[in-house]
Homo-oligomer: A and B are copies of this chain.
Amino acid sequence: MEIKILENIFESNREMAEEIRSLLNEKKVYMIDIMSSPGAGKTTLTDTIIGKLKYEYRFGVIEGDIKTATDAEKLAKHDIPIVQIETSLFGGDCHLESSWIMKSLDHFDLDDIDCIIIENVGNLVCPAEFELGDDERMVVLSVTEGEDKPIKYPLMFNSSRTMVLSKTDLLPYLPYNIDTAIANARRANPDITIIKTSALSGEGIGDLLDHLRKNIDRKKSA
């Protein structure tokens, strides 16, 4: 019985994700679901992307956290619409669900937005199981987390279109083999796009912005 109910949760989540996808296709809004371990740099990356691209595109942000709105507060300076979902109000949940995303979309004027960034709960497990209707899942993996994470958390990496390998400025101080990390990511997902970045030194940020420009533009002209 338990399993039956779990299946229903996933099924209704998937149906709602499809509704979101249709709505965003109609409105030509590109949506990215950023996922990672706690502290891999999702907020810093979101902050950097918006800071660099906000005069080219109109952004909206959905922040998912178990507790606190500190991430949303960090992004408030950009003067863009932000919805904070505090999942502990839904029972301490470790992920976001599509029905909460749909409700969040009510707070945006979708005719006035080019790109929505969802910052999911910091967790390499549960968020991967819930489709949100986005165009791109982007997993952020900090180089401080070790090389083996893509094979230890295969669903996350297999279901992501892009892997951002963050904090590369720390590489000189770590016993870390970046080639092994990349090989592990490709083992989990041969098609994954890999972008190496450091928000601190700026390395790779240009590549990330070009990747986003290309995808947002393609959606707008679809």
Contact = CB atoms under 8 A, between A and B. Distances in A.
Contact-residue bracket for chain A: 35 or more
Interface stretch (A46-54, A101-109, A119-127): A119-127
Chain A interface SS verdict (over half): loop
B65 A152 contact: yes
Interface in A19-77: 37-40, 65-68, 70
Interface in A117-153: 121-126, 129, 142, 144-146, 148-149, 151-153
A92 interface: yes
A125 B2 CA distance: 21
A80 interface: no
Given A144-B144, A152-B65, A152-B68, A126 B126 contact: yes
Copies of this chain present:
2
A89 interface: no
Contacts of A3: 91
A124 B95 CA distance: 12
Contacts of A145: 37-40
Contacts of A207: none
A93 to B, nearest CB: 8
A152 B94 contact: no
A222 interface: no
